[in-house]
Amino acid sequence: MALIAADTQYLVVGLGATGLSCVRYLVAKGKLVSVIDSRQAPPGLDALRAEFPDVEVTLGGFDADVMTRVDVLVMSPGVPLSTPAVQTALANGVRLSSDIELFCQAHQGRTVLITGSNAKSTVTSWLADIASRAGVTFVVGGNLGQPALTLLEEPAELAILELSSFQLELVGPLRADVATVLNVSEDHQDRYPSFAAYQQTKQRIYFGCRHAVYNRDDVLTSPLLPTGVAQTTFGLDQPDLNQFGVLEHDGEAWLACGRDLWIRAKDVALPGRHNRSNALAVMALAQAIGLDRDAILASLKAFKGLPHRCEPVGSIDGVQFVNDSKGTNVGATLAAVEGLGRDHPGRLILLLGGQGKGADFSSLSEPVAQLCKSSWVFGQDQEQIAAVLSAGGQSSTVHRVDTLEQALAGAEAEALAGDIVLLSPACASFDQFNDFQHRGDVFRSWVEARL
pLDDT of res. 392 = 64
The Cα 172–Cα 208 span in angstroms is 9
pLDDT of res. 6 = 63
Residues 6+ apart with CB under 8 A from 196: none
Which stretches of the chain score pLDDT less than 70?
1-6, 188-189, 392-396
CA nearest neighbour of 439 among 414, 397, 403, 400: 403
Break the chain into its structural domains and give their ranges: 9-93, 102-302, 311-448
Q: Cβ distance 215 to 182 under 8 Å? A: yes
Exposure string for 163-184, b = 16+ CB within 10 A, e = fewer: bbbbbbbbbbebebbbbbbbbb
CA nearest neighbour of 421 among 342, 312, 327: 312
pLDDT of res. 395 = 46
Q: Which residues are catalytic?
A: 120, 143, 188
Superfamily of domain 9-93: NAD(P)-binding Rossmann-like Domain (3.40.50.720)
pLDDT in tens, 397-429: 899 999 999 999 999 999 999 999 999 999 999
Residues 6+ apart with CB under 8 A from 401: 376, 377, 378, 382, 407, 410
End-to-end distance of the chain based on CA atoms, in angstroms?
A: 56
Q: Cβ distance 362 to 386 under 8 Å? A: no
pLDDT of res. 228 = 84
pLDDT in tens, 291-326: 999 999 999 999 988 889 899 899 999 999 999 999
Does CATH place domain 311-448 in 3.50.30.30?
no
Does CATH place domain 102-302 in 3.40.50.720?
no
pLDDT of res. 287 = 98
pLDDT of res. 1 = 41
